[in-house]
Amino acid sequence: MSKMKLYGGYSRAAKKSGAAVAGEKKKKRKRTAVDRIISVLLVLVALEGLYCTAVFSDLGFIKKYREMWIQTAMSTMRHQWLATAFLPSCVIDEVMAKVERAQQAQVGVNTQWTEEDQKPEETEPTVATPEDEFYELFWELDRSSMERYIKENPDTLSGGWGKISINEAGLDDDGTSIQTTMGEQVLAIDAANKTLVVRVSGSGYRGALVIAKDPAQLSIYPAKNLGSVGENAGSIAERHNGIVAMTASGFIDDGGNGNGGGNGGGSSRPNKGTSVTTPSVEPNDETKSIQFEDVSGWSEEYIYYLANKNILTGKSEKSFAPRDNITRAELTAILARMSGAELSGYTMPDFDDLTADAWYVSAIAWASEQGVVKGENGIFRPDDKVTRQEIAVMVNRYAKNVADYTMPEKNEVTMFADDSEIAEYAKEAVYSMQKAGIINGKGDNRFAPTEYATREETAKMIAVFLQGME
């Protein structure tokens, strides 16, 4: 019998078994790859389905936001790609055609308030009581519906007829039961600011009408981020200290009823446009010739009020730098200009850190002589920042030493939460100006006495102080 030789320590049967395992692994890898391809295809199909739904669906909420997206994007050249890059032209054209039809439908449309509805002429008006004065001012009101409202809401007269304040003009409000003589619904009455808001409608049109009895109170400002994300009416009113704001909407409603903006008093619709506000400081009678590119918001009225009186100047012709901290030299110059003093006669003051050719030398010399400013050890520090309590002290010295003016006591003394941080030398000035309504806290009833004041904060303090003296 011949001997069988074994090579490598395994048989042919073992070899077949290993090959089978390798084949199974190869088949498994092929199945895994196929599964992955199928998964990717399914995801692509799902995405395509979602895209088609978003672009072509007539479901109400999808259609609403699709049209809003298209209208917003196509309203400005730089944002049109947000629509054209993702949506076919046929869809965009359909929406924009709808917008155009709605706008065309409003051409020539008028409210029901016509020329015949104007206030009748009265030869000899007589005002015997505050009630008669109220109805004389708001002649548009239906007296009987107003009386019913007051009977149902007696607190309306808690401050008297001249202080009636009714506000149901927000988007979440239904309005009042008060009507005008034309049957229009009254949304808001502000007797103190002589303002009335009513809901008006006409053929193919509906909206709100703000009736301002004192047109001098009205101002027009561009919305923040105009041409971008817009700004709601409530924030516009707050930013400009206004009692009401109206914006021009960038959206057309489904019924084509108009493109008017929201009502004031807390409207939250994201509209874009202009606001109508009541300034807290009346502007100069002269045409506002000074224009700063970096001035807007709550401080605008104060800055331009002083700039038009040549009391405030900018950092350049077009820049005021409202959020820069004010310096001792800048504040001194403001007070000097406010006094109207002839500064040419004032020469180099007795401070070692000043140079004769500095732009502020004459102002500091005048202020030092008047006891408005003081140095320390022969040093003035003209470029040092001024704290809020230091401004109070300097303005208070100006009132006493230059203007011979006693601060009015309009408000009750309210102790600031950080009273202990106010320097003893400054407390009299701080609380004197607090009672006069010139300064207030910065939140949580804090005065923040050691914080450096900005140029716009200083403008407000000086403007309110000067207004009180006029």
Secondary structure of 358-423 as H, E, C letters: CCCHHHHHHHHHCCCCCCECCECCCCCECEHHHHHHHHHHHHHHHCCCCCCCCCCCCCCCCHHHCC
Can you tell me whether residue 264 is helix, strand or coil?
coil
- The more confidently predicted of residues 9 and 348 is 348
What the block records as the tokens of 458 is 């200083």
Question: Would you place residue 228 in the very low, low, confident or very high pLDDT band (cuts 50, 70, 90)?
Answer: very low
Of the segments 144-153, 171-180, 345-354, which one has the largest average pLDDT value? 144-153
User: What per-residue confidence (pLDDT) applies to 78?
Assistant: 63
The string of pLDDT tens digits covering residues 35-79 is: 788 888 888 877 777 777 777 777 777 777 777 777 777 766 666
Mean pLDDT throughout 363-388?
92
What the block records as the tokens of 230 is 């817009």
The string of pLDDT tens digits covering residues 188-214 is: 999 988 898 888 765 555 678 888 888
- What is the overall mean pLDDT for the chain? 76
> Taking Cα atoms as reference points, which of 41, 95, 91, 100 lies closest to residue 71?
95
CA atoms of 381 and 372, how far apart (whole Å)? 15
User: What per-residue confidence (pLDDT) applies to 258?
Assistant: 35
User: What per-residue confidence (pLDDT) applies to 200?
Assistant: 79
CA atoms of 187 and 177, how far apart (whole Å)? 9
Q: Is the pLDDT of residue 336 over 90?
A: yes
* Least confident segment among 53-62, 292-301, 347-356: 53-62
Mean pLDDT throughout 29-33?
73
Q: Are 456 and 299 in contact (CB under 8 A)?
A: yes
The reported pTM is 0.43
C-alpha 372 chain-centroid distance: 36
Mean pLDDT throughout 382-409?
93
Q: How many CA atoms lie within 13 A of 205 on its CB side?
A: 20
Exposed/middle/buried for residue 295 (C-beta within 10 Å: 0-12, 13-18, 19+): buried
Percent of the chain's residues with pLDDT above 70 = 69
CA distances from 127 to 15, 263, 353 (A): 118, 32, 65
State the virtual CA torsion across 48, 54, 55, 60 in degrees, nearest 10. 150
> Taking Cα atoms as reference points, which of 403, 396, 385 lies closest to residue 434?
396
Mean pLDDT throughout 328-353?
90
Q: What are the sequence ranges of the domains in the chain?
A: 23-105, 128-277, 297-469
Sequence-ordered list of residues with C-beta below 8 angstroms from that of 132, at least 6 positions apart, any chain: 126
User: What per-residue confidence (pLDDT) applies to 126?
Assistant: 55
* Least confident segment among 108-112, 216-220, 238-242: 108-112
CA atoms of 137 and 126, how far apart (whole Å)? 12
* Least confident segment among 111-115, 153-157, 293-297, 438-442: 111-115
Q: Is the pLDDT of residue 424 over 50?
A: yes
Q: Are 456 and 323 in contact (CB under 8 A)?
A: yes
User: What per-residue confidence (pLDDT) applies to 121?
Assistant: 61
